[in-house]
Structure 1
Amino acid sequence: MTNKKLISYLIGVLLIIVVPLYFYADPADFDGWFPKCPVYQATGIYCAGCGSQRAIHDLLHFRIVDSISHNVLIIPAFLIILYHYYQKFQEKRNGSPKPNFLYHPKAPMIIFVIIMVFMILRNIPTAPFTYLNPV
């Protein structure tokens, strides 16, 4: 078995376990079950991922506005992941890879800059930036 197949199987098993957990258990209600953000615990600074657990729970229940209120980046991240797997599916079905903006040489740096700017902006303690804080 190749490393790619093993990783795919592990991701599949992880999703089978994690998705029902986040669907049925609200991280806001089951505070002791879900891990706390180590960045926020250590520094009091909201990282780019703060609020993601609650956002995933809301997204699984199709509460888009609530999901965005916890973490604005969850919807773009979800769409990028869907696009990635759609492209992989199309590549397997058609046999040849199509041009994909996610694999542009500058894409990782652009995504990194967006995440860092978001993290900086959500920690500015004045409006309108406080709206980016996880609620």
Structure 2
Amino acid sequence: MDASASPAAPGPAPVPAEPGGAAPAPPAGHGPAFPPAPAPASRLRRLATPVGVMAVVVGAFGYVAAVDPNEPGHYPVCPLLRFTGVFCPGCGGLRSAHAFAHGDLVAALGANALAVVGYLAFAAVWLLWTVRASRGQPLRIGLGPVGLWGLGALLLAFSVVRNLPFGSGLAP
């Protein structure tokens, strides 16, 4: 059987070109080739995650503010300090958070200065995150390998200095 002899499948009739060379309008009932983009999330929905994270942080600070870490028996002892006598970068962090939550910045810095810097850095990043989320923009903070190694070196240097005699001012 010859392929040219087979009946042609019915298809849409060609649309004649409009006068003046304008493109023909698509036939009625046919939508665009691609579906429309989903509607952007509402502002409340975009802010849900940053607000939820802040609620958890406020709850944690509230607990530490209510349960004094300066009284023994409320929190576990740092294992590194207990078994080696060496202060880790986090030693004094709970006392620092307690003092910070009570508005005593001098005591917070004395307990763990690096933790106070961390609180302030978190607040700045959270504020940036919230502003960008309210505008519908993603938060992109990329610490590459150099940044991560630098952060690790800072924590190591802080740990070493606070355990040496001349750095006793950084010890909790």
Runs of 4+ in 1 over 4 A off after TM superposition: 8-15
Larger radius of gyration: 2
Matches of 1:41 and 1:60, distance apart in 2 = 26
More helix by share: 1
Give the alignment's Cα RMSD to 1 decimal. Answer: 2.5
> What TM-score, normalized to structure 1?
0.78
Task: Output one character per residue of 1:63-100: Cα deviation in whole Å (capped at 9) or x when no partner.
Answer: 000011111102210011112211211221222347x6
**Number of positions where the alignment pairs a residue of Structure 1 with one of Structure 2:** 123
Please tell me whether residue 131 in structure 1 is matched to residue 172 in structure 2: no
* Structure 1: gaps (5+ residues): none
The one of 76, 81, 103 aligned to 1:40: 81
Matches of 2:110 and 2:136, distance apart in 1 = 40
Residue number in structure 2 paired with 1:121: 161
Once the two structures are TM-superposed, the CA of residue 108 in structure 1 deviates from its matched residue by: 2.1
Please tell me whether residue 27 in structure 1 is matched to residue 66 in structure 2: no
> What TM-score, normalized to structure 2?
0.63
Any residues of structure 2 matched to 1:1-135 within 5 Å, and which? 12-13=55-56, 15-16=58-59, 18-29=60-71, 31-97=72-138, 102-105=141-144, 106-124=146-164, 126-127=165-166, 129-134=167-172
CA contact (8 A) 2:99 2:105 kept: yes
Counterpart amino acid of 2:74?
Answer: W
Matches of 2:152 and 2:171, distance apart in 1 = 19
State the secondary structure of the residue aligned to 2:77. Answer: coil
* Structure 2: gaps (5+ residues): 1-47
Counterpart amino acid of 1:25?
Answer: V
Matches of 2:92 and 2:56, distance apart in 1 = 24
Once the two structures are TM-superposed, the CA of residue 40 in structure 1 deviates from its matched residue by: 0.5
